[in-house]
């Protein structure tokens, strides 16, 4: 297997080198991928990249997208952004674009992701060779959840109209085509590809028809492919400014997927504390270390019962992250994914950000879990803890981040007290989650409210 | 008749020869008070590492200021603090606090490799009230073009620079890896050292076979490590008038007695107290007094250097002959002949 670096676009963050597990047996500091001075390799790498880009893409229908390797062979439709080198948010967006990019509509809250997602006049969001890619927009800050809900309602209405128009034109169309367009599952890449083929076939037939209904159906036909709505934003939006809207959207029961890129601080505006900022962390408006623990937005969402919730950390457990994305997308109701995103405002060497996520999980600071309402019936246990019991003391994890170590330096007494409380937070939360993992649920009826 | 356990170290009159070396036990006030209560005659505070200060200041700049000032919305990512408590301030404040609460001498410890900030920190410690200083000069020469003489010059440069500025006495804690330790000892004393601490334990790196990384590894001392110290105490005692301190591998009264007899004015304990608790010092002290009484010594001073190279029955035992005898006396079956 070869990995080709886009030499003109690489930010030099060093994360790929840090996570690479393969070392030379002759000189262990040499890995399968290494940083090197750009000048030495620039021209040749440009030539190599051109060759690489001309290679055919992998067939999405033939690759298992549920695996790490399979998902990473897919074409990313989120390319080179203006995010910080080593940003913890962007891998999730890249993954999202690889899994669902060619049929996603994204409502992006204002914040880092809206800035690097639309560093006008450029955008990192891209198209594939068929000209398909995510449709992306940023409205405001507080309105992002509602913005995304509005997009969902609009898409649902378009689909509804398309289906209506299709049924009305059924007499003029091949019966098997109409049935397949209306009732195919579209649950796999193969089925999605077949649906697109059917739409091509439909358009061909419609082009031979002169009626206004045919013209309308032509315009609406693409709506017959399942669209995925992603409501994306940081914790400043999700936990604070846009929380009311988010709550409203989760309560709606509509099929939207919320992705919170949780840096635990307002990153874009220079590191102000949010309700996601953990206890003992130093941030602006929490210069003496935040004294209150982090809001557990996952549990709040889970209290509804009908919301799919997952907490992921792609650097620690990429397979669990991929599973969560698939489950969220397939769940026909509101989904919430909380994604641990290391940030420059954590005060770490971002080149080690991905491996550092492992310690976030090992310490229990960021436990991994999935709550799937589909399991919560007939006494099933919908909450599943995906990470192991904490083994690393929180202090050991925290001392590697300036947002905690700064307090250890400026006010050791206060730091000691807050770190002790923070460790207790972790113990308590783990114990609480362990108990919830044993809770049986009998959630009934909400499917009826969200399906047509 | 009571035994006079007192000794003199770095012109300080100590009530007994048991000093606690720089270690985690000397890093907090509660522990220091406990050590004094169990009989320690002096304490060496945890070291201030010059590189650590430089590293911390650099890291604060790197992580705190990194990417700051890039755009108008985020000039920086952390709040501005009034004080980052970098530099020697935490150590100085701790020294002052220790001096307020302890009746025994408090020796500050500096650890580093070059003259740069040494002098400044040494002077600050003196002004903060340190009774004496311990300069822990240690670096690993990796440059094949740097000669042994040049390495030693680096040590002497630091010693001279500190001696020019300081009024309080200071000892130099060194390792054994000098081509001619007696020569270096003389030159260190001429440069201004009031004492020598033998020896620094170079906590050598360990290789992790799982991660393939070279990692730091702290192993507490073993009594067998004292033997190297004994050799050089025995040799140097007859050559220098300054204080000599023994450290590494002093775990029991027997080790203490050997070190004193070879020529140490004081013995410095760390590992054994970390393992067995500060109260172990009281046990060693009691055993020392009991041993001296049983053997009819009147004082510790009587004991010091009594088995040095010149005063022992066979001084060559401290030299190469000892090495030869040890090898010859060991049979191929692993038993002593």
Q: pLDDT-derived band of residue B332, with 50, 70 and 90 as boundaries? A: low
Q: Does A282 touch chain B (CB under 8 A)?
A: yes
Q: Which of A231-245, A345-359, A402-416 has the lowest mean pLDDT?
A: A402-416
Peptide bond into A121 cis (omega under 30): yes
The one-character DSSP state at A227 is: P
Tokens 């001309």 belong to residue: A54
Q: Does A287 touch chain B (CB under 8 A)?
A: yes
Average pLDDT of span B313-337? 64
Give the whole-angstrom CA distance, residue A89 versus residue A266.
Answer: 13
Tell me the ipTM for this assembly.
0.73
Q: Does A84 touch chain B (CB under 8 A)?
A: yes
Strands A135-138 and A104-108: parallel
Q: Write the pLDDT tens digit of every residue in A286-336.
A: 888 999 999 999 999 999 999 999 999 999 999 999 999 999 999 999 999
How far away is chain A from the Cα of B290, in angstroms, using its nearest Cα? 44
Share of chain A above pLDDT 70, in %: 98
Q: Does A348 touch chain B (CB under 8 A)?
A: yes
pLDDT the model gives residue B334: 52
Give the whole-angstrom CA distance, residue A189 versus residue A401.
Answer: 41
Nearest CB to B66; choose among A268, A344, A412: A344
Q: pLDDT-derived band of residue B103, with 50, 70 and 90 as boundaries? A: very high
How far away is chain A from the Cα of B80, in angstroms, using its nearest Cα? 8
Average pLDDT of span A237-261? 97
- Residues of B near A (Cβ–Cβ under 8 Å) read 56, 59-60, 63-64, 66-67, 73-79, 81-86, 90, 212
What tokens does A376 get? 């919560």
Q: Which residues of A touch B60 (CB under 8 A)?
A: 402, 406, 409
pLDDT the model gives residue A450: 46
For A28, which residue in chain B has the nearest alpha carbon? B212
pLDDT the model gives residue B51: 72
Give the whole-angstrom CA distance, residue A178 versus residue A389.
Answer: 52
Mean pLDDT of chain B: 88
The dihedral through the CA atoms of A68, A362, A233, A407 has a sign that is: negative
pLDDT the model gives residue A409: 80
Q: pLDDT-derived band of residue A256, with 50, 70 and 90 as boundaries? A: very high
Yes or no: say if B251 and B177 are a contact pair by the CB < 8 Å rule.
no
Q: pLDDT-derived band of residue A199, with 50, 70 and 90 as boundaries? A: very high
**Strand, coil or helix: B146:** coil
How far away is chain B from the Cα of A270, in angstroms, using its nearest Cα? 4
Nearest CB to B83; choose among A268, A286, A410: A410
**CB pairs below 8 Å between A and B: how many?**
63
Yes or no: say if A267 and A343 are a contact pair by the CB < 8 Å rule.
yes
Peptide bond into B199 cis (omega under 30): yes
The dihedral through the CA atoms of B253, B259, B261, B264 has a sign that is: negative
Yes or no: say if A35 and A17 are a contact pair by the CB < 8 Å rule.
yes
What tokens does B207 get? 């290789």
pLDDT the model gives residue A416: 94
Average pLDDT of span A248-277? 95
**Strand, coil or helix: B290:** helix
Angle between helices A144-168 and A212-220 (to 10 degrees): 140
Q: Write the pLDDT tens digit of every residue in B132-189.
A: 999 998 878 889 999 999 999 989 999 999 999 999 999 999 999 999 999 999 999 9
The dihedral through the CA atoms of B21, B25, B29, B34 has a sign that is: negative
CB A409 to CB B75 under 8 A?
A: no
**Strand, coil or helix: B89:** helix
Query: What stretch of H or E contains B215?
Result: strand B213-215
Q: State which of A407-411, B25-29, B64-68 shows the largest mean pLDDT.
A: B25-29
Nearest CB to B78; choose among A28, A269, A406: A406
Nearest CB to A409; choose among B74, B85, B212: B85
- What's this model's pTM, rounded to 2 decimal places? 0.84
pLDDT the model gives residue A316: 97
Query: What stretch of H or E contains A384?
Result: strand A383-385
pLDDT the model gives residue A452: 45
Q: State which of A181-195, B106-120, B138-152 shows the largest mean pLDDT.
A: A181-195
């Amino acid at each position: 297997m070869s990995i080709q670096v886009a030499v003109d676009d690489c930010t030099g963050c060093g994360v790929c080198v840090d996570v690479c597990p393969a070392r030379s047996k002759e000189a262990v500091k040499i890995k399968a991928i290494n940083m090197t001075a750009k000048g030495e390799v620039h021209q040749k790498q440009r030539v190599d990249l051109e060759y690489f880009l001309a290679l055919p893409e992998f067939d999405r229908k033939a690759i298992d997208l549920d695996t790490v390797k399979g998902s990473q062979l897919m074409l990313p439709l989120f390319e080179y952004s203006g995010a910080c080198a080593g940003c913890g948010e962007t891998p999730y967006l890249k993954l999202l674009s690889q899994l669902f990019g060619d049929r996603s509509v994204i409502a992006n809250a204002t914040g880092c992701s809206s800035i690097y997602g639309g560093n006008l006049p450029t955008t990192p969001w891209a198209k594939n060779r068929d000209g398909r890619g995510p449709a992306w927009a940023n409205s405001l800050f507080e309105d992002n959840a509602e913005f995304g809900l509005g997009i969902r309602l609009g898409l649902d209405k378009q689909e509804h109209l398309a289906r209506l128009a299709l049924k009305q034109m059924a007499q003029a169309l091949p019966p098997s085509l109409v049935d397949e367009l209306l009732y195919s599952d579209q649950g796999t890449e193969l089925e999605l590809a077949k649906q697109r083929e059917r739409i091509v076939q439909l358009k061909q037939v419609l082009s031979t028809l002169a009626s206004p209904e045919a013209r309308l159906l032509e315009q609406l036909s693409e709506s017959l492919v399942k669209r995925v709505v992603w409501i994306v934003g940081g914790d400043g939006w999700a936990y604070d400014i846009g929380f009311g809207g988010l709550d409203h959207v989760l309560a709606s029961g509509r099929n939207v997927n919320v992705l919170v890129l949780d840096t635990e601080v307002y990153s874009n505006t220079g590191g102000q504390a949010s309700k996601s900022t953990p206890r003992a962390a130093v941030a602006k408006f929490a210069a003496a270390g935040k004294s209150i623990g982090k809001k557990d937005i996952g549990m709040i969402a889970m209290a509804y019962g009908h919301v799919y919730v997952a907490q992921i950390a792609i650097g620690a457990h990429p397979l669990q992250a991929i599973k969560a994305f698939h489950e969220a997308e397939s769940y026909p109701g509101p989904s919430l994914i909380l994604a641990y995103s290391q940030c420059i405002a954590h005060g770490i060497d971002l080149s080690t950000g991905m491996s550092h996520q492992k310690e976030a999980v090992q310490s229990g600071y960021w436990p991994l879990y999935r709550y799937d309402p589909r399991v919560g019936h007939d006494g099933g246990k919908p909450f599943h803890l995906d990470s192991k019991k904490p083994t690393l003391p929180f202090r050991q994890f925290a001392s590697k981040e300036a947002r905690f170590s700064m307090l250890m330096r400026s006010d050791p007494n206060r730091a000691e007290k807050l770190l002790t409380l923070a460790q207790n937070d972790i113990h308590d939360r783990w114990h609480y989650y362990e108990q919830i993992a044993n809770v049986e649920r009998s959630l009934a009826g909400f499917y009826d409210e969200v399906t047509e | 008749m009571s035994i006079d356990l007192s000794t003199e170290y770095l012109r300080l009159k100590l009530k007994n020869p048991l000093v606690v070396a720089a270690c985690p036990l000397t890093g907090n006030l509660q522990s220091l008070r406990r050590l004094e209560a169990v009989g320690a005659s002096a304490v060496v505070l945890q070291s201030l590492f010059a590189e650590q200060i430089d590293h911390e200041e650099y890291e604060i700049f790197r992580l705190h200021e990194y990417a700051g000032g890039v755009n108008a919305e985020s000039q920086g990512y952390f709040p501005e603090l009034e004080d980052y408590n970098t530099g020697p301030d935490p150590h100085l404040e701790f020294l002052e606090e220790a001096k307020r609460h302890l009746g025994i001498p408090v020796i500050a410890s500096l650890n580093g490799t070059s003259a740069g900030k040494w002098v400044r920190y040494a002077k600050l410690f003196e002004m903060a009230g340190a009774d004496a200083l311990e300069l822990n000069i240690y670096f690993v020469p990796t440059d094949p073009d740097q000669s042994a003489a040049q390495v030693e010059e680096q040590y002497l440069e630091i010693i001279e620079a500190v001696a020019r500025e300081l009024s309080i006495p200071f000892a130099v804690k060194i390792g054994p890896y000098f081509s001619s330790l007696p020569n270096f000892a003389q030159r260190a004393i001429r440069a201004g050292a009031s004492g020598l601490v033998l020896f620094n334990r170079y906590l050598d790196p360990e290789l992790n076979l799982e991660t393939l990384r070279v990692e730091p590894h702290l192993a507490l001392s073993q009594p067998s490590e004292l033997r190297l110290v004994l050799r050089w105490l025995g040799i140097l005692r007859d050559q220098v008038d300054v204080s000599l301190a023994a450290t590494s591998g002093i775990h029991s009264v027997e080790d203490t007695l050997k070190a004193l007899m070879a020529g140490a004015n004081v013995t410095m304990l760390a590992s054994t107290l970390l393992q067995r608790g500060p109260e172990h010092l009281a046990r060693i002290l009691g055993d020392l007094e009991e041993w001296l009484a049983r053997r009819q010594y009147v004082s510790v001073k009587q004991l010091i250097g009594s088995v040095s190279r010149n005063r022992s029955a066979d001084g060559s035992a401290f030299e190469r002959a000892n090495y030869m005898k040890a090898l010859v006396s060991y049979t191929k079956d692993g038993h002593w002949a």
